[in-house]
Structure 1
Amino acid sequence: MRWTLKSKPNPETVSAIKNALNVDAIVATLLVQRGIDTYEKAKTFFRPSFEHLHDPFLMKDMDKAVSRIESAIANNENILVYGDYDVDGTTSVALMSSYLKTKIQQVATYIPDRYDEGYGISYKGIDFAHDNDFTLIIALDCGVKAIEKVAYAKEKGIDFIICDHHRPGETMPDAVAVLDPKRSDCNYPFKELCGCGVGFKLISALAQKDGQTPEDLMEYLDLVATAIGADIVPIVDENRALAYLGLQVINTNPRAGMKAIIAEVKKDELTITDVVFIIAPRINAAGRMKHGNHAVSLLTETDFNMAAQYAVDIDEFNTDRRETDKRITEEALALIEKNNEQEGYTTVVYQEDWHKGVIGIVASRLIETYYRPTLVFTKSGDKLAASARSVSGFDVYNALEECSDYIEQFGGHKYAAGLTLLPENYEKFKAKFEAVVANSIDPKLLTPELKIDAEIGLNQIDQRLYRILSQFAPFGPGNMSPVFMSSNLRDTGYGKCVGEDDKHLRLTATQKGLGKIVAIGFGLGDKCDLITNGKSFSAAYSIDENHWNGNVSLQLKLKDIK
């Protein structure tokens, strides 16, 4: 790993915030690094609330979307709520359909089949709407590039409202309203909402017209917080408030489906990290292994016993997903070794029988090994479909845009995207993608970076510091859990490898005259020789609490040692 120590912020600013908040210099430094340099900003950061949400009508086309939905309700039209099959899409559909059903009964949901229809709005979905007399489709987490499909729907007398957060193309679809904060002509003050977040702004606007406030929509925020965590959007500004409030719902009064998932995993209080690694994969597993409809059924079910049955089914999908992605990852690694393709700037692999539902996960796993912009392809009908994942600091979406001559369709974000192409273009695309990345990537980005907030002594670590750092949560992009480093450490002599295959490292670190503390390094078993025989070493770590036999103590959660 490449360790990067963040530059120290302006000492006067640090001193001012330290005095204003009556905190240690280290806490003040961390706050200023995050752009929190006044008392008012600190108050907003530590006490996220509904007051910090922006007026939904600041979003371009919001008035048009609300007017069209009010008209549909007044005229008893049939409304189809359409969304993608991943977590952001299914939570969006659950949120929108649940809310609309409090106003009108003629509301149905539609999730495209990953294998039959692919990502986003499909002709099959529009035909379903036409055959069943739906006159309005509200599309969530997709649609901003669906120009031909929205035009096709219009020919059939079906209106579209699009709620998306992906980058638009040069032309907007001819929809009644296109809600997307990333539109160049949209002045909404926060650009990084997830799809479910945009959906929440739409129901907030509808509620506002009825004289309600966002507080009246609290029950929907467990869905929004789950989508924020799963879609890896920055947890800053409005997302921080939505995630913070949503976690309160998850931990105190979650909807039946969430409650059923949490009961399966038996954890008392969930953090955003738990949402990402416990709730989100289970919701995602439905769309990956079976159909996204199962996730929507779970998230909209009000009877706990029914929800519990759905949760059991989804847990089985998740088990299947884990086994499948493990097998395909092993096959992909073997293929890369066999073809001797470890040396380039990219990782691109293809096998026609790989499960389309897990290729995105496999791409992420390959990055763990080779740390390159990565694409994993499989056969999908008469085309090849791929999931792309990138390394920190490199925009894979832009790279794909430069390869568009060989691509049929693509969409996504800076770090994750999906695409399809014709089989005859695979080798040409692969060569072009390698050339584009080779010419544009900074070579240092091919080594994982460990960003360190500050260097501290072990004597600065105490319960008060940990208590304040805990209030920095929820953590995520834009507000990662603080990482520290300490130098001139030694093990007390009892450090050892632990766990299956000695994969992990456990030691007690001491620093001359500055105390000692237990440290655990998951996956760092191969670094054991760095700490033996009284050798001096440096450690990068976060501060964690260890609960054992009723005792609670602080420990270091090691990220790396040198």
Structure 2
Amino acid sequence: MTAYLGVDRSLTGRRWIGPAPEITRHAEALMQQTGLPPALCQTLSRLGVVADEVPTYLEPTLRALLPDPRTLRDMEHAAGRILQAVRNRERIAIFADYDVDGGASAALLIDWLRQLDRKATLYVPDRIDEGYGPNEAAMEALARDHDLIVCVDCGTLSHGPIAAARGADVVVLDHHLGGETLPEAFAVVNPNRQDEDGALAHLCAAGVVFLTLVEAGRQIRETGAQGPDLMSMLDLVALATVADVA
């Protein structure tokens, strides 16, 4: 490779190497196609950004960046079952993990349901007495009084407790690593299921819940109606993401 800017070595003896010829050619093409400054086009070229992607790359929007919820398995079934419960005024329970991600996930669902003039029973297990995730006693009790139980930030490995929820449908919205088999729930939406491709494995549970509500909103619009405002809920998703990473 040729020396960069005609300098073979720096004062400390390091060799200066410029961008590869194909990077430079692509940057020149970007300048011609977009009219942007050379330095910016060089940077975009090194990042592999093509001309058609430049506007959304420089000014990203949620619409452009948001993944399609339907790329996740069981997503349409999960959102459809929640909407069915809303339309039929069924009794809904939310079983949430006790950390920030679980709390934010539950809050997202509760806020969304309130905008539709619906309520839900919130159940958060005692960290000391019940431990993490659904337990058989709690699920049995919830199933006696509810038609639908939505487990958020938990449930992917809860085979026994979900089987114990006889008489109620269970939807799992989770992100924890799944096992070889899934519990017998109505739907399990989890980007870390064994049969997922891992493209959305970085999502926390609140991110999974948000995508579920996006899908629910899509199904609502298909009927000609307007769903709840989701943009106001993004702060909760951000909070849960930061807390989960920390």
Question: Does structure 1 residue 28 correspond to structure 2 residue 43?
Answer: yes
**Corresponding residue of 2:148:** 136
Shift of 1:188: 8.2
**Corresponding residue of 2:6:** none
Shift of 1:22: 2.4
1:9, 1:223 → 2: CA distance?
44
Question: Does structure 1 residue 220 correspond to structure 2 residue 230?
Answer: no
Amino acid paired to 1:205? E
Count of equivalent residues:
220
The 3-state SS of whatever aligns with 1:96 is helix
1:223, 1:191 → 2: CA distance?
19
Check conservation: 2:172, 2:185, Cα contact below 8 A: yes
Residues 466-505 of structure 1 show CA distances to partners (whole Å, capped at 9, x for unaligned) of: xxxxxxxxxxxxxxxxxxxxxxxxxxxxxxxxxxxxxxxx
Q: Do the aligned partners of residues 18 and 221 (structure 1) sit closer, same or farther apart at CA in structure 2, a change above 3 Å counting?
A: same
Shift of 1:96: 1.0
Residues 406-460 of structure 1 show CA distances to partners (whole Å, capped at 9, x for unaligned) of: xxxxxxxxxxxxxxxxxxxxxxxxxxxxxxxxxxxxxxxxxxxxxxxxxxxxxxx
Q: Which residue of 29, 38, 59 maps to 2:72?
A: 59
2:39, 2:227 → 1: CA distance?
35
Check conservation: 1:145, 1:172, Cα contact below 8 A: yes
Amino acid paired to 1:148? G
**Corresponding residue of 2:188:** 178
1:171, 1:54 → 2: CA distance?
26
TM-score between the two structures when normalised by the length of structure 1: 0.36
**Corresponding residue of 1:199:** 209
**Corresponding residue of 1:109:** 122
The 3-state SS of whatever aligns with 2:164 is helix
Residues 105-152 of structure 1 show CA distances to partners (whole Å, capped at 9, x for unaligned) of: 231212222212111222343144135x11211111111111111111
Check conservation: 2:94, 2:150, Cα contact below 8 A: yes
**Corresponding residue of 2:21:** 12
CA RMSD of aligned residues (A): 3.0
1:204, 1:111 → 2: CA distance?
24
**Corresponding residue of 1:148:** 160
**Corresponding residue of 2:58:** 46
Check conservation: 2:112, 2:228, Cα contact below 8 A: no
Question: Does structure 1 residue 166 correspond to structure 2 residue 176?
Answer: yes
1:17, 1:46 → 2: CA distance?
17
TM-score between the two structures when normalised by the length of structure 2: 0.76
**Corresponding residue of 2:33:** none
The 3-state SS of whatever aligns with 2:128 is coil
1:213, 1:230 → 2: CA distance?
32
- Identify, as 1 or 2, the structure richer in strand: 1
Shift of 1:228: 2.0
1:223, 1:74 → 2: CA distance?
25
Residues 9-35 of structure 1 show CA distances to partners (whole Å, capped at 9, x for unaligned) of: 962354356543525389728x83xx5
Amino acid paired to 1:28? T
The 3-state SS of whatever aligns with 1:99 is helix
Q: Do the aligned partners of residues 206 and 9 (structure 1) sit closer, same or farther apart at CA in structure 2, a change above 3 Å counting?
A: farther
Residues 333-380 of structure 1 show CA distances to partners (whole Å, capped at 9, x for unaligned) of: xxxxxxxxxxxxxxxxxxxxxxxxxxxxxxxxxxxxxxxxxxxxxxxx
Shift of 1:169: 0.2
Check conservation: 1:135, 1:159, Cα contact below 8 A: yes
Q: Do the aligned partners of residues 217 and 106 (structure 1) sit closer, same or farther apart at CA in structure 2, a change above 3 Å counting?
A: closer
2:18, 2:129 → 1: CA distance?
53
Aligned residues with identical type, % of pairs: 33
Check conservation: 2:23, 2:42, Cα contact below 8 A: no
Shift of 1:101: 2.1
Check conservation: 1:15, 1:25, Cα contact below 8 A: no
Amino acid paired to 1:78? R
Shift of 1:162: 0.6
The 3-state SS of whatever aligns with 1:224 is helix
The 3-state SS of whatever aligns with 1:169 is coil
2:71, 2:198 → 1: CA distance?
5
1:220, 1:28 → 2: CA distance?
34
Shift of 1:157: 1.2
The 3-state SS of whatever aligns with 2:121 is strand
Residues 276-298 of structure 1 show CA distances to partners (whole Å, capped at 9, x for unaligned) of: 7xxxxxxxxxxxxxxxxxxxxxx
Check conservation: 1:136, 1:159, Cα contact below 8 A: yes
Q: Which residue of 184, 190, 200 maps to 2:200?
A: 190
Q: Do the aligned partners of residues 65 and 43 (structure 1) sit closer, same or farther apart at CA in structure 2, a change above 3 Å counting?
A: same
| Runs (5+) with no aligned partner, structure 1 | 1-7, 233-275, 277-562
